[in-house]
Amino acid sequence: MAGQGRDSTAMKKDVEGYIHGVSEIKTPASGNRYFDFKIQEREESVRVVCFSPEKRNEIKDNEITKSPVKLLNVTAKKRKYEPDSVEYTMNNRSKVIREKNMAFPWNTVHEKEQHTVEEIKESSINDLVSITAKVVWKGTTESVYSHTMRKTLLKCEAIIVDATGSIKVTIWENMIPNITEGHSYLFQQFKVSFFNIKFVNGIRESVINEIEDIEIPEEICAAAQQLKPKEKECSNLTGRVLGVDVSFTLVCVNCRSRITDSDDQFVNCGSCKTTFLKEFVKKTVSANVIVIDENNENKGRFYCSNSVLNSMFESIKATKNYNIKETDTAKLSRKMIVETLLLVKKVLFEVVSDEKLMSSMQVAQ
């Protein structure tokens, strides 16, 4: 937070207006808890990010009562990825003052009922949008770990098009079965997000409803194919593990940041400075393994996720004459994981060579 004041594009100011759209408190992987809202000024509404969570109730009350307020000591800075737009940030030194009088009236901050792809690409990050579009590509469903929600979620990416262009959409969990490639839908309450390029991201309030098929120009459908991710080229090889580097990662109970494991009984989160008994902190395991083929040729070093390691230990457990009862590698010692992997004489690997990623491994029969 202190770093924001050193931004050369930022300046301190006081702003006045009305509060709209106060969010819940969010906890990103960095551990800096925040919430956001919009302040309706005389001419426009501006996003405000508040890094002082204890102010939320006060600000929410002012939204509910539609009270005029003045925000003191806020930082105005150019928005990331949008240098022509401004947003405000608040911290512990910022204050909220309820005003008795305001020269302009409270107005609803209108969200446009529907947008086009072209309009979404011109929208600001975190804006909520709705769009009628056709799904021209739907990717595979993947499991990803959310540090915000502290659990593994199902995620699917798709490409949608309308008469003005194409854009990626990310959908989650129960929404995934709701779309089919080649069908048209009304996507409501999706958030404009950015990762290399702008895309729309499903949130808890998002809704997808199928509609009658819409006609899309062929050139737009053809151009949409450029958004498809490069297919991962998997290859199989049989060999064994030559070397193993196991990493245990803990997830902070308070801010959900990653904590490096240690042999101590206690662990300290570097983000929120909280100390915990290690036994109560969730642990995940990953590894980098060096693989050789059946001719003892070194095939390189590959990253193994927690799920790949657990699947390997399931395979070992099912193999005749092995005595492995625990397959959750988070409950095994580093020594047990390393020695077990090194002693399996024949393993079937599925790897993504370009990304140095292990897709799966199991005992070769």
User: pLDDT of 306-352, one tens digit each?
Assistant: 889 999 999 999 999 898 899 999 899 999 999 999 999 999 999 98
The last residue of a domain, from among 180, 198, 226 = 226
In a domain, 103, yes or no: no
Which whole-number Å values give the CA distances from 22 to 54, 63, 70, 293, in the listed order? 13, 8, 16, 57
Which whole-number Å values give the CA distances from 133 to 122, 129, 173, in the listed order? 17, 12, 20
Claim to verify: residue 129 and residue 86 sit in the same structural domain: no
Claim to verify: residue 82 and residue 152 sit in the same structural domain: no
Could you tell me which residues come within 8 angstroms of residue 283 by beta carbon, excluding any fewer than 6 positions away?
248, 249, 250, 251, 261, 330
In a domain, 92, yes or no: yes
How do residues 132-184 score in pLDDT, each as one tens digit? Answer: 999 999 998 887 766 566 667 889 999 999 999 999 999 999 899 999 999 99
In a domain, 204, yes or no: yes
Q: Which long-range contacts (CB under 8 A, 24 or more apart) does 149-158 make?
A: 150/251, 150/256, 150/282, 157/229
In a domain, 353, yes or no: yes
How do residues 270-304 score in pLDDT, each as one tens digit? Answer: 777 889 998 888 888 889 999 999 999 999 999 99
Claim to verify: residue 126 and residue 91 sit in the same structural domain: no
Claim to verify: residue 350 and residue 238 sit in the same structural domain: yes
Q: How confident is the model at residue 253 (pLDDT cuts 50, 70, 90)?
A: confident
- 317 close to 267: Cβ distance less than 8 angstroms: no
Claim to verify: residue 267 and residue 183 sit in the same structural domain: no
In a domain, 104, yes or no: no
Claim to verify: residue 246 and residue 350 sit in the same structural domain: yes
The mean per-residue pLDDT over the stretch 57-80 comes to 91
Predicted confidence at residue 147, as pLDDT, reads 59
In 3D space, the residue among 364, 237, 361, 350 whose CA is nearest the CA of residue 293 turns out to be 237
State percent of the chain over pLDDT 70.
90
The last residue of a domain, from among 39, 70, 98 = 98
Indicate which CATH number applies to the domain containing 45: 2.40.50.140
Claim to verify: residue 218 and residue 239 sit in the same structural domain: no
Claim to verify: residue 245 and residue 351 sit in the same structural domain: yes
Q: Is the pTM of this model over 0.75?
A: no
Could you tell me which residues come within 8 angstroms of residue 110 by beta carbon, excluding any fewer than 6 positions away?
none
- 205 close to 172: Cβ distance less than 8 angstroms: no
**Chain centre distance of CA 352:** 23
Claim to verify: residue 206 and residue 298 sit in the same structural domain: no
Task: Give the domain extent around 176.
Answer: 117-226
Round the average pLDDT of the chain to a whole number and report it: 87
The last residue of a domain, from among 46, 68, 98 = 98
Claim to verify: residue 33 and residue 144 sit in the same structural domain: no
Claim to verify: residue 58 and residue 122 sit in the same structural domain: no
Handedness of CA 209, 210, 215, 217 (dihedral sign): positive
In a domain, 299, yes or no: yes
In a domain, 109, yes or no: no
How do residues 170-195 score in pLDDT, each as one tens digit? Answer: 999 989 999 999 999 999 989 999 88
Q: Based on the structure, what is the number of domains in the chain?
A: 3
Claim to verify: residue 253 and residue 355 sit in the same structural domain: yes
In a domain, 111, yes or no: no
